[in-house]
Chain A
Amino acid sequence: MAAAPNTVERVQLLIHDALSIDVPAGDTDLVDSGLLDSLGLVTLIVEIEREFELELPLDEFELDRFRSAQNIAEFLTQAYPTAT
């Protein structure tokens, strides 16, 4: 299920506000580009939970879900359709 454009923008804004990272595009790879480090990932997890009022599962962290704003938005859309 593709994420709605406004969900991608919402995630991009969240990344900007929480991590002070300007994401040039929804598909910018945050990991390979070095924009997202380990502390940043934990910050992002807690901030996503706050913004979308949900609790992410902690039993299996898949880095690919957090690789880009697009990936995050798609994961949230699939797993939490009512939250997005």
Chain B
Amino acid sequence: MTSRPPSGDGASIWIIGDRLTRTTARRWASEQGKSRLAVRIASAAELDALTRAVADSGAWLISCNSTAILSPGLLDIFDDKAINIHPGRLPDFAGLHAVQWAIRLGEATTASTAHFMTATIDAGDVIYDVEVPLEREDTGLSAWVRCQRAQMSLLTRILADIAEGHEMPRSPQDLSRRRMFRAADALGDDFPPDLEALATERWVRAANYLPLSSPTYHPTLRLDEPGLVLAVDSVVPRSAEPGSPPPATAALMDSDQLVVGCANNTAVTVDRARLIHHDEPLSPRWSRVVERLQPNR
């Protein structure tokens, strides 16, 4: 199946998305010179208000990294000419925070995916996808940048297809494999007690956006003794050994390693963490440990 864009004069391409999306679209438009297609930037709210204006123009809508949910009426207006560029592989990483979930679930690759928009989020026919490899050391931030690179390449490809009147491929998704992630699925800063060591390492790494802040949860350790709170940026799975703390609790071992217990008698060692709060002056031993864990040591 294919979808052929209109090739008449005066058609517009409406863009909604983040700053990188808007910048990329503007630059593409300026590089086209006397393109017959006008690239217009709008917020989702503005687009709703402009529904009547775009109804007769054969306009296209491209959404990329926008969290606005478009009204069904608006999608009807664009009539199979509304495209979303999603930072995840479809159908198995639909919804929010797909990049983080790919890390959390131990995927070796994810994708950025351009698809036609329907009333069901991230469920429309796929136009193009670009595979994004995930490396063992990828953090939430580095994987996000990889997906953004792929999304921008898809954006310029889609813009060119529309401008040149190329037919776009469309492949229906196998929705029996669909996984949908919601904001509520990525809440909670405390270490999940049900995760084993490997999954705990991925849970921490997916939330590492240093030097920026995670858009979702922030892995946090609260130690009643000596009364301190740490923001954890990196952990390393370790061999199970007697005396490891219970799941989701931390203990300072004889070797001065800060260890967090995980499910099924597994554990991780805290490798990097930032001191958020402490009640009393720290002992020399704890001061050494906290100093050693700082990210820029």
Residues of A participating in the B interface, judged by any CB pair closer than 8 Å? 17-19, 38-43, 45-47, 49-50, 58-59, 61-63
Q: Which residues of A contact B145 (CB under 8 A)?
A: 42, 45-46, 58
Known A-B contacts A58-B145, A59-B142; A43 and B212 likewise in contact (beta carbons under 8 Å) = no
7 interchain pairs, CB-CB under 8 A? A17-B23, A42-B20, A43-B19, A46-B20, A58-B146, A61-B142, A62-B211
Does B209 lie within 8 Å of A43, measured CB to CB?
A: no
| A9–B152 CA distance with the chains assembled, in angstroms | 25
Q: Which residues of B contact A61 (CB under 8 A)?
A: 141-142, 210-212
| A42–B141 CA distance with the chains assembled, in angstroms | 9
Out of A38, A41, A47, A59, name the residue touching B23 (CB < 8 Å). A47
- The chain A residue with its CB closest to the CB of B142 is A58
Q: Using a Cβ–Cβ cut-off of 8 Å, how many residues does chain B contribute to the interface with A?
A: 20
| A42–B148 CA distance with the chains assembled, in angstroms | 9
B138 interfacial by beta-carbon distance below 8 Å:
yes
Does B137 lie within 8 Å of A43, measured CB to CB?
A: no
B166 interfacial by beta-carbon distance below 8 Å:
no
Does B23 lie within 8 Å of A18, measured CB to CB?
A: yes
B51 interfacial by beta-carbon distance below 8 Å:
no
Question: What 0/1 readout, one digit per residue, does chain B (111-150) give for beta carbons within 8 Å of chain A?
Answer: 0000000000000000000000000011001101110110
